[in-house]
Structure 1
């Protein structure tokens, strides 16, 4: 099975190719360069592996939450490739992808958090089962002070732990065995999660993929932009 994975929801631009269990990845912290890098990286990975686009079985995409421009880019690129090839998409939560990068074992609990700016973080919690982060609290965007967890032995991962003068890390550190506040999601982890999801039949038509913005004001802004374009076209 061959799968191309795209994750650009944060300042990290990342693309990976899963080819029958072998993973190749390009990853770079490259704010504002995602659009420049993502397609050339896709082509380079395929060329290195000797895999043509026509040999791909599916495209995987990190659907957010994260920076809305990055989320939109990943989905647009993934949709374009998938529609052009007539292949399905596997859409995964960027927070789940981030949680998959924690050094956690089966039974461990992981809190994944991404700095959402505006004094908020995107977060969700997971339990590792059969190597897969299974969601135990839903994705949300809140102030760090609003996040609480029960018990100890947690693993923390993501830039949300360094947001707001590391408020989340400082307040909950006694309940965590490890916190990686610099970690960003990797397409390699996305490809592994997506390969398992694909095997379970968890695919979607490219035109049905929905971004996870979480912030209503971002969604409203996008609707307003679309409405403005429609008004402009109808007045020509």
Structure 2
């Protein structure tokens, strides 16, 4: 199976190719360079593997939450490619991708919890809780956006918790019963296309791919709030 995955949901810009179980990736920190970098990354990945777009079986992208502009860039590119090539699409939560990164980078044990937090601006965080289930993040409850003071750990019998994501910079504003239960934190983890690819390959095998028109971004935050931001109508 050959799957191309994209992520532009944070300051990182990346593309990854899952080809018969092996993942290769192009990644660069470029807060304002997603549009400029993404297509060259895609072309380079395919060329290095001697593949053409028509050789792909599916596409995937980090659907959000994250940067509104960034999420739309990956969504637009994936939808355009999917329509043109007639390929199915797998949309993967950006929070879930970082949970997978934490499982690997922080050596999270089986059954332990991962609490992922992104900076959502406007004094809020995007928040999602997961459990390591056989090396993959299992979602616990719904993802949400809220002030740091309102985050909560989904119990599910989990004793040990790991924190991941830049939103943990606001740990001091989180409830004591949350921050006190976190054993370690990696604030540097951001979404990467290689993690998107690995999760998407699993979801694809579970028949979770959708047609291009159904591959939509997930902002979580009420879009009315977005429209009220300065300069938006």
Render the CA deviation track for 1:81-115: whole Å, top value 9, x for unaligned.
11111000001111111111003232111111111
Mapping of 1:1-236 within 5 angstroms? 1-102=1-102, 103=106, 104-149=108-153, 150=155, 152-163=159-170, 167-168=173-174, 172-217=178-223, 221=227
* 1:232 paired residue number: none
Whole-angstrom distance in 2 between the partners of 1:218 and 1:11: 24
* 1:233 paired residue number: none
* 1:234 paired residue number: none
Whole-angstrom distance in 1 between the partners of 2:60 and 2:207: 13
Structure with higher helix content: 1
Q: TM-score, normalised by structure 1?
A: 0.88
Whole-angstrom distance in 1 between the partners of 2:76 and 2:224: 17
Flag the 1:73–1:156 CA change in 2: closer, same or farther, 3 A: same
Shift of residue 169 of structure 1? 9.5
Render the CA deviation track for 1:47-80: whole Å, top value 9, x for unaligned.
1111111110000011100111011111000111
Whole-angstrom distance in 2 between the partners of 1:93 and 1:148: 19
Whole-angstrom distance in 2 between the partners of 1:64 and 1:58: 19
Tell me the matched-pair count: 224
Whole-angstrom distance in 1 between the partners of 2:22 and 2:87: 20
Shift of residue 173 of structure 1? 3.6
Aligned partner of residue 10 in structure 1, secondary structure:
coil
Shift of residue 191 of structure 1? 0.4
Flag the 1:220–1:179 CA change in 2: closer, same or farther, 3 A: closer
- Which shifted more, 115-124 or 99-108? 99-108
Q: TM-score, normalised by structure 2?
A: 0.89
The root-mean-square deviation of aligned C-alpha atoms, in Å, is 2.2
Flag the 1:219–1:191 CA change in 2: closer, same or farther, 3 A: farther
Flag the 1:11–1:57 CA change in 2: closer, same or farther, 3 A: same
Render the CA deviation track for 1:169-206: whole Å, top value 9, x for unaligned.
98744311221011101110110000111111111001
